[in-house]
Amino acid sequence: MGRLDGALSPVMYPRSERLSRRRWRHCQVLADHFWARFIRCYLPTLQCRQKWHGTPADLTEHSVVLVMDPQFPRALWPVGRVVKVHPGVDGHVRSIDVQVKDKVYTRPVARLIPLPVIPDTEEDEECPPVKNTPFT
């Protein structure tokens, strides 16, 4: 976080646009602050490390995961779907084949963050279809 983001290109502004440049820099500082807090505070809550208190559920096929990669800039970690699991000697899943777009990668479970499942509600099925009738 103490370095410039390579995804943003630096721009030189004329003296007449100093206010715009200050606003742009302020927006960049706010974005840097948001992503630093997101990575430091929220992402660790998705990846539970409770190995001494209990055994977490192993990832299964068709799970959606966020692939952590320190080589990518912030907010560009790809989202993929688990294609195949590779259990270790103890029977727990240790590595996984993840499909990201049209490629399949093998990654260790420690570098994957399972994303929460968004449940399908039955309310969508219970709602009758809307009729296209003109108002009179």
pLDDT tens digits along 61-79:
999 999 988 888 767 889 9
Indicate whether 109 belongs to any domain. Answer: yes
d(CA 115, CA 63): 8
Whether residue 64 contacts residue 115, with contact meaning beta carbons closer than 8 Å, is answered with: yes
pLDDT in tens, 102-131: 999 999 998 898 988 777 765 544 444 444
pLDDT in tens, 5-64: 555 555 565 666 666 777 888 888 888 889 888 888 888 777 766 555 666 678 889 999
Indicate whether 92 belongs to any domain. Answer: yes
Indicate whether 20 belongs to any domain. Answer: yes
Rg (CA), the chain: 22
Contacts of 45 (CB under 8 A, 6+ apart): none
Pairing relation of β-strands 93-100 and 79-87?
antiparallel
Q: Is 109 helix (H, G, I), strand (E, B) or coil?
A: helix
Q: What is the largest CA-CA distance in the chain?
A: 71
What total of structural domains would you count in the chain? 2
Where in the sequence is the domain holding 67, given as residue range(s)?
A: 56-114
In terms of pTM, does the model score above 0.75? no
Indicate whether 121 belongs to any domain. Answer: no
User: What DSSP designation does 37 have?
Assistant: H
d(CA 20, CA 9): 16
